Structure 1
Amino acid sequence: MAFGPVENGVIAETLIATPKHTLPPNPGFAYSKIWLIPPRTELAIPNVWVDSMRACSPPHSCYVKGDPFDIDIHYRAWIAKHPSALNIFDQIVEVAKGKQIVMFLDYDGTLSPIVKDPERAIMSEAMRTAVRKLAACFPTAIISGRNREKVFDFVGLSELYYAGSHGMDIMGPAQGSNGIKASGVKSYDGKGNEVVLFQPAKDFESTINKVFNMLEDIVRKVNGARIEHNKFSVSVHFRCVEEEDWDVLADEVRAVVQFFPTLCLTEGRKVLEVRPSISWDKGKALEYLLNALGLEGRPDVFPVYIGDDRTDEDAFKVLNKQNHGLGILVSTAVKETNAQSSLRDPSEVLEFLQRLVCWQQNHT
C-alpha cells in the first residue's frame, strides 16, 4: 500500500503491482560487465549542460516562511500534491501501524543543512540524538553520494547502515540495535565490530582514482569549484562558482570523462558526479538493504525514504513500484518528484524523526 494524493484531507491508497527485483548473486562481490550501462557516444553541447545544471539546482525557497499570503501559487499547487509529512503524520503512522518501519535517509540537505563548503556539512547534536533513537526503534540507513567513511565521521553512530557513493559502498552492523540481523559478506570495522560489506563497484576503484587525479588540478583552476573523492565516484561541486563559469566547468569535466568509457557524468544539486556506468543507484541500494535485512517484498514492512536531491528520485521510484512505503522530498522549491510527501528543511526532518520515535515508544 503506497501513499497517493491527498483527497479531502485523507491520503488516497494506491495499489501498484510490484515486479520482483532479483539482486545479483554473491553479495559483496563486484558485478560483472553485463551490468554495465552503454556509455553515451555523443556529448551534450555546453548550454544544454548548463540548463541541466540549473534545473538540478533550483532556488532555495518559493515562499516566505510563516506568511501564507506570500506563498507562491505554484508552491501551493505543489504542496497540495506533495503534502507535508508533518501535516499528515497521523495518517502516515496509521498506515504504518503493525508493520516494521525501515528508515532510509540522505545526508546533505536532509540530516544536515546545505552549506557552501561540503567539509562543513555537520549535523546538529539534536539531529544526532534523534537519529540514534530512531535506529534503536527501526533499522536505519543513510544513503549518500558522499564517501561512506566521511558520512560515518559526520554522523558517528555505529548502529546505522551506511551506503556511500550513491549506494555503491555499503556497510552496516551484522546485527542492529533493534535486533534485526543482516546477511552479506562479513567483515570488521576499525573497532573490531562485525559488519556486513557490499561494494558493487569495487572493480572501478582504480579508474575512479585516475579520473580524480586528472580532474583535481583542472577543477581547482575554476574559481569556487571543489572536488571530492567518494571512493567509487567523484563529485565536482559548483555551489560557489559564478553561473557564467558553469559551462567552462562542465566542458572541462566532460573532456576528461570522455576518455573513460566505463564512467558516466550526471548532475545533482549544485554538483556534477562522475560515476561507474553500472546499473546501480540509491534505489538499488534501498532494495539491497531490504533484502539483506530479510525484509524485501514483505507486506508487513513499511520503508520510508527521506532525501532532497535528484539522485534520491531513484529510491522514490522504487517505493512507488512497491505496494507500500513512503518517499519524502526535502524541499522548499517546486520540483518534479516521485516522492509522495515533503518536508521543507532539516529542521522539519528533525521534527518528523522525533515524532516518529515518540509514536513508536508510545506503541510498544
Structure 2
Amino acid sequence: MEFTSSEGEQRYAEVVARAADVVVGLDFDGTLAPIVDDPDAAHIHPDAGGVLTDLAAAVRAVAVITGRPARQALALGGLDEVGNAIGDVGRELYLFGQYGNERWSSTNRRIVTPRPPAGLATFERDLPRVLRGADAAEAYVEDKGLAVAVHTRRLDDADGAFDRLVKPITELAEQHGLSVEPGRQVLEVRSHGMHKGLVVDWLMEHLEAGGFLFAGDDLGDVEAFEAVLDLRRRGLPTLLVCSASREEPTLRDLADVVVDGPAGVLDLLRTLTTDAS
C-alpha cells in the first residue's frame, strides 16, 4: 500500500474513523479479479469472499460496480455465496453490472435490467467490416447484452490493433447513437447516459451514507473517481484507491493510495477492517 501524499494518509484515517458510515465500492476486473486474456476466466481472487464479509461488518455497505454483465460477475465472483455470508453479519451486498444499468443485491436477488439500446444490433452487424478494415478481424467480440466489447488482448499486435480500431469503432458507434468506453486493450460500445459515477451518487443517497471509498483500475472508473472527489469537496470522508495499472496512469494521478492489483486491494481492505474495529 503506497499513499500518494500525506493528505492521502489523512484521508485514510478519516475513513477509518467514520467507517460505519462509509460505503466501499469496488470494480471487478483488475480490482477484485486479475486481468486475463480470456474474460470468461477472470475469477475473483480466492481470498475476496472472506475479506469482503469481514469488511461488510465494519462499514455501511459493500458494492461491486462493474462493466461486466451482472450475471457474469455473479458467476465469476461467487457473489451469491458472498452475499449469503454478508447477510449472516446483518449487511447487504450490492452488485451493479454494465456500469450501473443492471442492479442486484443479496436481499433482492433478481437482476433488474433495461432493454438493449437501440442501434446496438445494427452496430454489431456492421462491426466485422470495421474489424477487417483495421486488420483486426480476429479481435474477440464480446456480446454483453446491453453492450458490445471488442478485445484486442489476444492479438499478436494488441496495442497496435487497439490504436487502429479507436477511430473507426467510435465513428461506427456514433452513427448508431452509441458511445465508446475505452479500457485496457478493449473498446466497449454502449448507450449514453449511465456510468459508475451515477452509481456512487445513487448509493450515497439510497443508503444515506456519510462517506465513500472506491477502488478501480481503468478508464471506466474515472467517473466514479470524479463522483467521489465531488463528495470530498462537500466535506465527506473519502478515499480513492488505484489497483496499479502502468498502462493507464489516469487513475494513479487521482488516487490517494496505489496498491498492487487485486491482492493489494484485499490487503488494504483487511487493514481497513482491522483499523476500524
Q: TM-score range by the shorter chain?
A: 0.7 to 0.9
Whether 1:232 aligns to 2:152 is: no
Paired residues for 1:46-125 under 5 Å: 88=9, 92-98=12-18, 99-125=20-46
Identity of matched residues, %? 25
Structure 2 counterpart of 1:335: 249
Note the residue ranges of structure 2 that are not aligned, 5 or more in a row.
Answer: 84-92
- Within-5 A mapping of 1:1-364: 6=5, 10-11=6-7, 88=9, 92-98=12-18, 99-138=20-59, 139-158=61-80, 159=83, 160-174=93-107, 188-189=109-110, 197=112, 199=113, 202-205=114-117, 207-215=119-127, 219=131, 222=136, 224-241=138-155, 242=157, 243-250=159-166, 253-254=169-170, 256-261=172-177, 263-278=178-193, 280-295=194-209, 301-322=210-231, 323-324=235-236, 325-333=238-246, 335-336=249-250, 337-360=253-276, 363=277
Question: CA offset at residue 104 of structure 1?
Answer: 0.2
| Distance (Å, rounded) in 1 between the aligned partners of 2:176 and 2:101 | 18
Contact 1:219 1:236 in 2 (8 A): no
Whether the aligned pair in 2 keeps the contact of 1:96 and 1:302 (CA below 8 Å) is no
Query: Aligned-residue CA RMSD in angstroms?
Result: 2.9
Q: Which amino acid aligns with 2:256?
A: Q
Matched to 1:227, the amino acid is: V
Higher helix share: 2
Contact 1:164/1:230 (CA < 8 Å) preserved in 2? no
Distance 1:129-1:211 versus aligned 2 partners, 3 A rule: farther
Measured at CA, do residues 245 and 155 of structure 1 come closer, stay the same or move farther in structure 2, by a change above 3 Å? closer
Which has the greater radius of gyration?
1
What is the CA distance between 1:294 and its match in structure 2?
2.9
Tell me the secondary structure at the aligned position of residue 312 of structure 1.
Answer: helix
TM-score normalised by length of structure 2: 0.78
In 2, the alpha carbon distance for the partners of 1:330 and 1:313 equals: 13
The Cα offsets for residues 183-205 of structure 1, whole Å up to 9 and x where unpaired, read as xxxx653xxxxx8x4x5xx2544
- Name the structure 2 match of 1:34: none
Cα distance change, pair 359–246 in 1 and its aligned pair in 2 (3 A)? closer
CA contact (8 A) 2:162 2:185 kept: no
CA distance in 2: counterparts of 1:140 and 1:255, whole angstroms: 37
Gaps of 5+ in 1: 12-82, 175-186, 190-194, 296-300
Q: Which one is further off, 210-219 or 228-237?
A: 210-219
